[in-house]
């Protein structure tokens, strides 16, 4: 297992702005504060969503769009540098009006309401291409 020790550099509670994109707001927050690594969790609701599923055989993301109101029952992820910019790797469990759920990599979602807890770290995380998975994964320290 690849690992590293991290030192907390800041801890934030944030309310996401209605009408803006969920993931883009996290990335903008990290950019504005110079955060190069963090872990976050959140909850709330979105007016629509684009969820990606990674096909491990084809090694491609398959986007699935939902044009419906969804509860963000759980959202977890991390912030790392990708191509020199903050990237929020965001996963979510989204609830439908019939209490069913869907989940995956939350690529985009228009915020209705959102609350976030983010813990930043001093040590930067950098993502680069990993040939075995064809994903952008953290580099070893």
pTM: 0.95
Cα maximum dimension of the chain = 45
Q: How many CB atoms lie within 10 A of CB 44?
A: 21
40 φ, ψ to 5°?
Answer: -140, 160
List the chain domain ranges.
24-112
Instruction: Determine contact, residues 42/87, Cβ cutoff 8 Å.
Output: no
1, pLDDT greater than 90: no
Q: What is the pLDDT of residues 41-69, one digit of tens each?
A: 999 999 999 999 999 999 999 999 999 99
Could you tell me which of 129, 59, 127, 121 has the C-alpha nearest to residue 88? 127
pLDDT, mean of residues 72-100: 97
CATH number of 24-112: 3.30.1330.80
Instruction: Determine contact, residues 23/106, Cβ cutoff 8 Å.
Output: yes
140, pLDDT greater than 90: no
């Amino acid at each position: 297992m690849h690992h590293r020790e991290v030192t907390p550099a800041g801890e934030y509670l944030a309310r996401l702005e209605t009408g803006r994109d969920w993931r883009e707001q996290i990335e903008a927050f990290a950019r504005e504060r110079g955060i190069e690594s963090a872990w976050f969790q959140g909850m709330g609701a979105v007016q629509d969503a684009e969820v990606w599923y990674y096909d491990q055989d084809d090694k491609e993301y398959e986007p699935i769009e939902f044009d419906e109101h969804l509860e963000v029952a759980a959202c977890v992820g991390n912030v790392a540098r990708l191509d020199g910019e903050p990237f929020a790797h965001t996963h979510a469990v989204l609830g439908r009006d019939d209490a069913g759920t869907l989940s995956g990599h939350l690529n985009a979602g228009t915020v209705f309401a959102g609350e976030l807890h983010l813990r930043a770290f001093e040590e930067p995380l950098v993502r680069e291409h990993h040939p075995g998975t064809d994903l952008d994964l953290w580099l070893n320290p």
